[in-house]
Amino acid sequence: MSEDQIFDEMWGRDDTLRTPYTEFQGWFQDEDLKRLRAKQREAEEVFRLTGITFNVYGRAEAEERLIPFDIIPRIISGREWQKLCKGIEQRVRAINAFLYDIYNRQEIIKAGRLPQEMIARNEAFLPQMIGMMPPGGIYTHIVGIDLVRTGPDQFYVLEDNARTPSGVSYMLENRETMLQMFPELFSRNRVQPVQNYPANLRRSLAACAPNRCEGGPTVAVLTPGIYNSAYFEHAFLADQMGVELVEGHDLRVVDGKVAMRTTEGYKAIDVLYRRVDDDFLDPLNFNPESALGIPGIMDVYRSGGITIANAPGTGIADDKAIYSYMPDIVEFYTGEKAILENVPTWRCSDPDSLAYVLDNLSELVVKEVHGSGGYGMLIGPTSSKKEIAEFRKKLMSKPGNYIAQPTLSLSTVPIFTKAGLAPRHVDLRPFVLCSPEGINITPGGLTRVALKKGSLVVNSSQGGGTKDTWVLED
**pLDDT tens track of the chain, all 474 residues?**
455 589 999 999 999 999 999 999 999 999 999 999 999 999 988 888 876 655 544 444 445 667 889 999 999 999 999 999 999 999 999 999 999 999 999 999 999 999 998 898 888 999 999 999 999 999 999 999 999 999 999 999 999 999 989 999 999 999 999 999 999 999 999 999 999 999 999 999 999 999 888 889 999 999 999 988 889 999 999 999 999 999 999 999 999 999 999 999 999 999 999 999 999 999 999 999 999 999 999 999 999 999 999 999 999 998 888 999 999 999 999 999 999 999 999 999 889 999 999 999 999 999 888 766 556 788 888 889 999 999 999 999 999 889 999 988 899 999 999 889 999 999 999 999 999 999 999 999 999 999 988 888 787 666 789 999 999 998
Residues 314 and 138: their CA atoms lie apart, in Å, by: 10
Angle at the Cα of 146 (from 240 to 195), degrees rounded to 5? 25
Antiparallel, parallel or unpaired: β 69-76 and 465-471: parallel
Measured CA to CA, the distance from residue 310 to residue 134 in angstroms comes to 10
Q: Give Cβ neighbours of residue 28 (< 8 Å, ≥ 6 apart).
A: 421
Report pTM: 0.92
Strand residue runs (E) in 32-153: 53-56, 63-66, 69-76, 142-151
Residues 329, 344: Cα–Cα separation, whole Å:
15
H or E element, residue 161:
strand 154-161
Q: What is the pLDDT of residue 374?
A: 58
**pLDDT of 60:** 44
Which pLDDT score is estimated for 375? Answer: 63
Map out the domains of the chain with their CATH numbers: 344-407 (3.30.1490.270)
For residue 319, give Cα distances in angstroms to 117, 125, 189, 220, 344: 13, 10, 39, 27, 15
| Spatial separation of the C-alpha atoms in residues 183 and 174, rounded to whole Å | 13
- CA dist 46 and 67 (Å) reads 12
H-helix or E-strand containing 37?
Answer: helix 33-50
Q: What pLDDT is stored for residue 1 in this prediction?
A: 46
Helix crossing, 231-241 with 168-181: angle to 10°?
70
φ, ψ for residue 329, nearest 5 deg: -65, -45
Burial status of residue 39 (CB atoms within 10 A of its CB: 0-12, 13-18, 19 or more): middle
Q: Where is 416: in which H helix or E strand?
A: strand 412-417
Strand partners, 271: 219, 307
| pLDDT value, residue 214 | 83
CB atoms under 10 Å from CB of 299, counted, come to 14
